[in-house]
Amino acid sequence: MIKSIYLLSCALTFGQAADRLEWHLTPQLAPGLELVYTGSYAEESLIPNVKHQRQYRLDASVLILDAGVKDWQAAIMTTLSLQEARQPNDKKDGPASVRLEMARIDVQGRVRSGAKKLLEIPLKTPPTLEIGFLVPAPNLRVGRNSSWDLGDDKSPAHRWQVVGTEGFGGVTCIKVAGLQQSLDWDAPRADQTAWRRRDLIWLHPQLMVALKVERIIERRDPARDTPTHHTVVRYELDSRLQYPGLLFEDRKKEILKASKFHDDAQQLLRQPGLHRQQIDGLIQRVSYHLDHQPATQSTPYRKAVVHIKAVLEKAQKGEVPVPGTIEDAPLPASITLAIGDRVPDFAVSSLSEEKTVALRHLQEKPIIVMFYNPATPLGKEVMTYAKRLNEKQTGKLGIMAMALTQDAEIARKQHKDMRLPFPILDGNAMRLTFGADQTPRFVVVDSEGLVRLTLTGWGYHTPYEIDEALQKCQKR
């Protein structure tokens, strides 16, 4: 009965206030308020003759935990699930990313981490923490066509403007547009990548949080006149509920437990080889929590705990983030290679032989770059696949086996025991460039030095996708 009355009260629409001449865009939040957004993130290459599209389902939940004088403490959880059309539903893995962040939201709509670092939306990588439902605004009233700039010495100014009002979901919203671009967007250069970000946000006139968000980020490679990549984020407010009493406390407890598990895991995952016993113990603690959590107390934030357990179990098998995790620090957008990018020439040391191998030595044929952990069973499986692939494609393919390890002796022993026909290379220096934040990581490069495929992880479909990409490269 109480729950029914509660849901009914949350369904009532606030009175309209968007017909005012001016608005104060400060978020109106309160402890127990939960906002749930659903939508999508899509990325696409616009380079001629390069077909690359990838789409994720995006889910974001925001729970206000506490209120201060000038800010609010919030838990923000973002889930990204890869939508792979060719993969059967019963074969799909769990979410590609689950990130739960304890943050502070100030009266100007800016979000900071627990370490007081200003959180920002990445320009190139998927938004593992989605915070675009807030508009960073000046602490004063603004009217139709009002505009303001935000930025610092490290980034171009981000201009925001109140476009006007527009109806959405039965509410007359305040429509705000944002524009930020690199200084060379309107004047193409041959020595660096240009970018532009455009936002459209429909703000609820009382809460001053988004009911709808659209964001487009375009990038243009050096010496190009038109965009070569773009990403599109679209999502809407799916539910807005004010949780009272025990319902709020259940969510808060789950969030604090997940946050504690996450913090404990990060310390261990930085050097998993030295903390195997502690990782096993933490997995037992997480499993105990999941197994003994009453069904009546299960909350949406349980998926953050499940994700932490999955990461720890991968660490047991050697599939570890190296170093750090996606949740901690997305790879720098300026250096991580993507589909269609040209791979710069580089040279790396061989761990199995006393020589150096350069990319240009293999450039006349397609190359597959493999990042793996030689100390794990999965790493051995990847090298077994690489050996078979080399035998199948003799003389038609270059293989760069990039070991991610601090113990070169392990790589040398593996090379000898498996009688690998190609050298094992030191991949640590090239990890960021190729986006190898987790192992195994595969990057297919065509004979012209352009990236044609990137894959992270190992599944039944992995060899088929690599073979398909190699066939396309050889046909060219």
**Would the pTM count as exceeding 0.85?**
no
Residue 274: what pLDDT?
Answer: 72
Say whether pLDDT at 99 is over 80.
yes
Rounded to whole angstroms, the Cα distance separating 378 from 438 reads 12
Rounded to whole angstroms, the Cα distance separating 46 from 48 reads 6
Residues 241-265 pLDDT 10s: 999 988 899 899 999 999 999 988 8
- Is the backbone peptide bond immediately before 440 cis, with ω within 30 degrees of 0? yes
**Segment 446-456 mean pLDDT:** 88
8 A C-beta contact, residue 129 and residue 117: no
Residues 22-60 pLDDT 10s: 899 999 999 999 999 999 999 888 877 666 788 999 999
**Which range is least confidently modeled, 4-13, 299-308, 379-388?**
4-13
Residue 16: what pLDDT?
Answer: 44
- Edge-to-edge strands of the sheet including 451-456? 424-426, 398-403, 367-372, 441-445, 451-456
Tokens of 445: 């490069």
In 3D, which of 102, 118, 373, 122 has the Cα closest to residue 255?
102
Of these ranges, 43-47, 69-73, 375-379, 463-467, the one predicted with the greatest mean pLDDT is 69-73
Say whether pLDDT at 457 is over 70.
yes
**Segment 369-380 mean pLDDT:** 90
8 A C-beta contact, residue 27 and residue 109: yes
- Whole-Å CA distances, 317 to 160, 162, 206, 268, 320: 47, 51, 50, 14, 8
90 compared with 465, residue with greater pLDDT: 465
Question: CA 51 from chain center: how many Å?
Answer: 21
Residue 12: what pLDDT?
Answer: 39
Structural domains present in the chain: 16-242 (2.30.230), 245-317 (no CATH), 347-475 (3.40.30.10)
In the chain, % of residues over pLDDT 70? 87
Say whether pLDDT at 70 is over 70.
yes
| Per-residue burial over 149-187, b = 16 or more CB atoms within 10 Å of its CB, e = otherwise | ebeeeeebebebbbeebeebeebbbbbbbbebbbeebee
Residue 93: what pLDDT?
Answer: 56
Say whether pLDDT at 369 is over 80.
yes
**Which range is least confidently modeled, 83-97, 361-375, 402-416, 454-468?**
83-97
Say whether pLDDT at 178 is over 50.
yes
If pLDDT is split at 50, 70 and 90, which confidence band does 19 have?
low
